[in-house]
Amino acid sequence: MANHSNDDTVSEQIQDLSGAIGTGLELEGALNALTDLSRQLIDSSACGIFKFEGINAHLITTHNASPDLERAVQDFHTSGQTDQVFTADNPVVLSESGEETSYALAPISAQEHPLGIFAFACNRSVYTAPELDLIATLSRQAAIALENVGLYQDLFETHHKLKASQTQLVQSGKMAAVGQLAAGVAHEVNNPLQIILSRVQLLMMRHKEEESLVKDLDLIESNVKRISRIIRSLLDFARHNSGQEEWKSIDLIYLVTQTANLMQHLMEKGDIEVTITTADGKSPQVYGNVSEVEQIFLNLLINAQQAMPDGGRIDIELSTDGQTTTAMISDTGEGIPEENIGRVFDPFFTTREENGGTGLGLSIIYSIVDKHNGEVSVKSEPGQGTTFVLRFPSKGSQDDSEET
């Protein structure tokens, strides 16, 4: 009768823990609670849950383990003895030569996929059948905990990716609308602008001997040409953001220059100097969607400008080794605190909420770069500026493309 009562108590304890594991999402707490209960139920000197990465066995619970248990499990794994645990699909008792302690190792699996091992150290060589059955039950609870948290993490990541994709889709629609508006404005402004330019040049020819007048007309001409360059940039922007653009070879120096021209007024107003350089005078080419690659540089320039409220410098360096095209965008701004470096590409992470920041700019950049089979990284120190490094598969330099 006593044994029956004890079995009921054990069953209730496991059931309570199973309910907590089934509804809980905090992995460390669930697994530590599991090892606490396991030490109560199994006469052992130590126990722990391990995951394997290559030849390494990693302890993932902080309660009830011991250095000797960690060493023994690592030795068993290195020697290949842990393989028989998954082959048997039941607890296996192992021991080391010359040692009194024996170890019961139970597989932790989900849908026939090995997740880890639940290990017990005991100062005896024999385990009863009920003990081994109980260890198997406890290992199944560990599998449920690991699987639940894995599923939650997958769901969490999928949810954030979906939100980012939805936001990017909305942003693309807005960009297409802005592109159509820009095209209309550009065409309307460009016609009278060309008339003004032709009249100014005509006046310069007629009054070329009047130095003071020519000087004023020259100033008008240079500014009209500047407006004309902005108009061309707007037309390019409109064409690239029509929402129907196909992928093609992109002249990166031209795209970056045109994007910088769009920002020229803001940069000059903010006392920010922008320089663009290329290695060997060659213009690297990448294959992709022009509007999306343009958006990468536009977002980075806007970020850099906002990081330098008192003015500064932005250097854009483009290079290619024939296989990879690299763009380095460096600013002399306020920099990024070390604790934020790992989060800058997270959707909705921003330190500029009070200024209307949404935390989407860099996450969109990351998404676009990834879509183009590229990589983006960031280096920064507070007060020392920030450098973003973009790497894309090369389409070949402009010289190479002209030869072919």
CA distance 219 to 52: 72
CA distance 39 to 145: 18
Query: What does the CA dihedral 77, 81, 86, 89 come to, rounded to 10 degrees?
Result: -130
Q: Which of 35-49, 72-86, 186-200, 322-336 has the lowest average pLDDT?
A: 186-200
Query: Where, residue-wise, is CATH 3.30.450.40 in the chain?
Result: 2-160
More confident residue, 382 or 151: 382
CA distance 142 to 18: 9
pLDDT band at 223 (very low <50, low <70, confident <90, very high): confident
pLDDT digits (tens, 9 = 90+) for 260-317: 988 888 899 899 999 999 887 777 889 998 888 988 998 899 889 988 989 999 999 9
CATH number attached to the domain at 2-160: 3.30.450.40
* Burial of 396 per CB tally in 10 Å (0-12, 13-18, 19+): buried
Q: What is the pLDDT of residue 401?
A: 41
Q: What is the pLDDT of residue 3?
A: 41
In the 8-state DSSP scheme, what is residue 385?
Answer: -
pLDDT averaged over every residue in the chain: 78
Q: What is the rounded radius of gyration, in angstroms, for the C-alpha atoms of the chain?
A: 33
Residue written as token pair 């707490």: 29
Q: What is the pLDDT of residue 400?
A: 47
Query: Where, residue-wise, is CATH 3.30.565.10 in the chain?
Result: 246-404
pLDDT digits (tens, 9 = 90+) for 368-395: 888 889 999 999 988 889 999 999 998 7
Q: Which helix (H) or strand (E) holds 65?
A: none
Q: Which of 228-242, 313-327, 357-371 has the lowest average pLDDT?
A: 228-242
CA distance 135 to 139: 6
More confident residue, 167 or 303: 303
Residue 345 neighbours by CB under 8 Å, 6+ apart:
362, 363, 365, 366, 376
Task: Copy the structure tokens of residue 181.
Answer: 């508006």
Q: Which helix (H) or strand (E) holds 379?
A: strand 375-380
Q: Which helix (H) or strand (E) holds 394?
A: none
CA distance 53 to 293: 37
Asked if residue 322 lies in contact with residue 284, where contact means CB atoms within 8 angstroms, the answer is no
Q: Which of 94-98, 120-124, 301-305 has the lowest average pLDDT?
A: 94-98
More confident residue, 185 or 359: 185
What is the value of pTM for the model shown? 0.44
Asked if residue 34 lies in contact with residue 17, where contact means CB atoms within 8 angstroms, the answer is yes
Q: What is the pLDDT of residue 303?
A: 86
| CA 198-237-295 angle, 5° bins | 145
Sheet holding 46-53, edge to edge: 56-59, 46-53, 113-122, 102-110, 92-95
Is 246-404 in CATH node 3.20.20.150? no
CA distance 119 to 56: 15
Which percentage of the chain shows pLDDT scores above 70? 73
* Helix boundaries (H) for 45-128: 67-78, 83-88
Residue written as token pair 């290949």: 80
In the 8-state DSSP scheme, what is residue 125?
Answer: S
Q: What is the pLDDT of residue 1?
A: 34
